Structure formats: C-alpha cells, structure tokens
Homo-oligomer: A and B are copies of this chain.
C-alpha cells in the first residue's frame, strides 16, 4: 500500500512512481501507464501524512463553526448550503474541506489557535466573527491564509465576505415607513457577533433618515432562536405605545414571534408587520409568509473559497483577486407578513 511496495512490484524506483503519479513530465509515457494501472489495481492512494510532511502543506482547508445551539447565528440549512458551494471550488484543486466544530465548552480563539499550531490546515474559513475578534489578529500574525464569513472591527487588512445588512435595514425601514409604520421595533441578538452592531447601527441610521426618533425601549436583544423570538415579542407587547412593525436580525425569531402574537390574539402581519432577514427554506411556508431577503448561500460559499485561494501562495496566480472584501447583496422577497398599516 505504500509507494515502496508499488515500486518493487513494478521494478522501478520510488522516485519514478512518485513522478508518474504526480503527472511530471520526465517519465516515459509507457511507464506512467504501467504505474497508474498498478496503482489503481492495488488501490494505492498516497499517504497524507507523508506527503504533508514533505511538502509542508496539507491540502486541507478548515472551516470553523460554533456548535452552541442557543446562540446559533443561522438557520437550519445555512451552513450546509455554504459548504456545498465551498466544496465545489475546492474539488477542482484537490483540496479537502474539513469542518472544525468548536464545542460550546470551548473558546473559539483557543480553538483556532490549536488548529493552526498543529499545522492541520493550509487555510481557514472562520464564521460568526465577533466585533472584536482576536482570531483575526492571530491569523494575520501567523500568516495563515484565511477568509472571514462576516466583517469585524479587528485587525489589519484581510479578506472577508459579508451580507448587506445596511441595505437590508435601510430597505426594510423604508418599506415599512412607506406602508405607514413609524414605530418599528428591532429584534437583535445579545451575542457579541458583529452582525449585531452593524444591523442596529443601520437600523438607527435608517430611522433617522425618515425623521423617526430612536427608542431604546423597542430595541430588544435575546437568543437567536424561536424561543428568543417568543421572549422578545413578549417583552415588546408590554411596551407602552406598542410598535406596529418589527425588523428581525434572524429569521428563526419569526416563528416564536408568530406564536406569541397568536397567544395574544394578534395576527402576525395584520396586527404586527414583520420583516425577517434571510429567506430560510421555511419562510414561504409560514402563515403569513415571511417577508425576507434572498441570497444564494451556495454562491457565498463559492466566493469564500475563491477569496481564500486568492490568499494562498500556491493559488494566487489562478485567482488574482487580492484582498477580497465583499458585501453580498440581499434581495427583498415580499411576503404576507408586512402589509400596509391598517390596510
């Protein structure tokens, strides 16, 4: 199963076998054929450790995610879709994608540090970027190629891909205002994820641009889960001068909000306009359907992979993109959850 056995069987040197398998030019086409045939017959596949040790590269890309279900930042199929896009690109370069879950008991920074120092991966995609994210400075300092899924305030120049939360907030507020709403609540996350700050700031700017005063009483933070939505809605119903509309930082919240409204005898949509963030698979099947924003996560994955390759010496020339900092547009998908006020 090793290259040595293969070489002995063929009566050639291991160097020749290696060259044949790696498609180098200086090997007779006849012997190459023999080698490839024998390798296939014997089911030979190069040992990763040996190759990595020699080459100083593992041909493995890591993708870190956090497994804390309470603070999960995305819906149920979010990462699966992204992975799919990432792998599509990597497959062309014989790169392997491995997902490195950071357990809820573990610290994301330590997690990245362990992964990097073991020289496990040639590159890294990190997600759930915090506003101040020590991982970013660390990766820059170590010179590890990486891309962040989500902006951060930290550190020097690095590649990242994010979604257009400014556009979403501006568009959603404008839409709600046009439909007669002036009292618009925000359901945000309590975690330190950068999205939280960006979204709230955009929301405030959008309100200001329509001459609406910011009211901290209707800007609430909680878990990004169905339960979190329920709790936020619950607190919101107790506010004097109840809002007529809500903007959500995450679509998972919607289900809990719908539920709480039902319990209060209110109808989502008619009695409380709601606009969600991302179009999850279930958005179109809620009642009322949720107004939210379309984005191709598969394409986000593709772009993540390309941005990462652009930062890796071995692939730089194939992907001359430099430092990629891209805000991905999100397109509003009208639903039934934000009808005109009083209409």
Instruction: Fill in one digit per residue for A220-249: 1 if any B CB lies within 8 Å of its CB, else 0.
Output: 000001110110000000000000000000
**With contacts A48-B118, A76-B77, A285-B259 known, is A97 near B87, CB below 8 A?**
no
Chain B residues, CB < 8 A from A75? 76-77, 80
Q: B285, A227: Cβ atoms under 8 Å?
A: yes
Chain B residues, CB < 8 A from A79? 76
Tell which of B72, B87, B88 touches A76, judged by Cβ atoms closer than 8 Å. B72
Tell which of B74, B77, B98, B114 touches A98, judged by Cβ atoms closer than 8 Å. B98
The residues in A between 77 and 124 inclusive whose CB is less than 8 angstroms from any CB of B are: 77-81, 83-84, 87-88, 91, 96-101, 103-106, 114, 117-120
Interface window among A16-24, A25-33, A50-58, A198-206:
A50-58
Chain B residues, CB < 8 A from A212? none
Q: A282, B83: Cβ atoms under 8 Å?
A: no
Copies in the assembly, this chain: 2
Q: B58, A49: Cβ atoms under 8 Å?
A: yes
Tell which of B97, B98, B101, B285 touches A256, judged by Cβ atoms closer than 8 Å. B285
Q: B120, A48: Cβ atoms under 8 Å?
A: yes
A286 CB within 8 Å of chain B: yes
Interface window among A39-47, A143-151, A314-322:
A39-47
The residues in A between 135 and 190 inclusive whose CB is less than 8 angstroms from any CB of B are: none
Chain B residues, CB < 8 A from A48? 49, 52, 118-120
9 closest A-B pairs by CB: A75-B76, A99-B99, A45-B117, A49-B52, A67-B80, A87-B103, A49-B53, A226-B285, A259-B285
13 residue pairs from A and B, CB less than 8 Å apart: A48-B49, A49-B50, A49-B53, A69-B84, A76-B78, A91-B103, A98-B98, A225-B281, A226-B281, A226-B285, A230-B285, A255-B285, A259-B286
